[in-house]
């Protein structure tokens, strides 16, 4: 077999499907509207999938959505009607800022304090980024 054929074979055998599988999926909210309130039933689950403190995620969401809200056991109660797509969007931006590594896209990260700065450190590739958004 010559080199071109080998190359072709190599390309064909690239595991494109498993790559897709490895990609981290940001969890989507589940819940419903109750009167004038929005109830999310999987909020703490989302926080634990993102491996972040629920209070941290909550603060961000309430500020971004400009709504009052509180945790009631495991349910998150938001003080007004908000569509799930709007909340998903905010959780996505939270993940991009506070969870996903900007180099490799993996969620295996930790937030560390260095002086006054918060650093997002990736345990998968070792990249470090300063988190500019304050909560």
Q: Please report, as ranges, the residues that interact with Zn ion according to CB under 5 A.
A: 101, 103-104, 122, 124-125, 127
Q: Shortest gap between Cβ of 10 and Zn ion (angstroms)?
A: 26
Q: Shortest gap between Cβ of 112 and Zn ion (angstroms)?
A: 14
Q: Shortest gap between Cβ of 134 and Zn ion (angstroms)?
A: 23
Choice between 41 and 124, CB closer to Zn ion: 124
Choice between 95 and 122, CB closer to Zn ion: 122
Could you give the 3-state DSSP secondary structure of residue 89?
Answer: helix
**Interatomic CA distance for residues 21 and 52, integer angstroms:** 22
HSE-CB at 34 with a 13 A cutoff on CA atoms is 11
Contact 105, 23 (CB under 8 A): yes
In the block, tokens 């309130």 appear at 37
Choice between 117 and 125, CB closer to Zn ion: 125
């Amino acid at each position: 077999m010559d080199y071109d054929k080998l190359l072709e074979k190599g390309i064909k055998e690239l595991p494109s499907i498993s790559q897709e599988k490895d990609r981290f999926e940001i969890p989507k909210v589940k819940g419903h509207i109750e009167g004038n309130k929005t109830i999310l039933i999987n909020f703490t689950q989302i926080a634990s999938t993102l491996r972040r403190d629920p209070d941290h995620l909550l603060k961000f969401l309430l500020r971004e959505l400009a709504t009052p809200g509180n945790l009631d056991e495991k349910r998150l109660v938001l003080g007004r009607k908000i569509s799930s797509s709007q909340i998903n969007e905010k959780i996505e931006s939270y993940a991009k800022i506070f969870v996903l590594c900007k180099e490799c896209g993996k969620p295996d990260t930790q937030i560390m304090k260095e002086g006054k700065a918060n650093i997002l450190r990736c345990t998968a590739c070792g990249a470090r980024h300063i988190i500019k958004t304050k909560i």
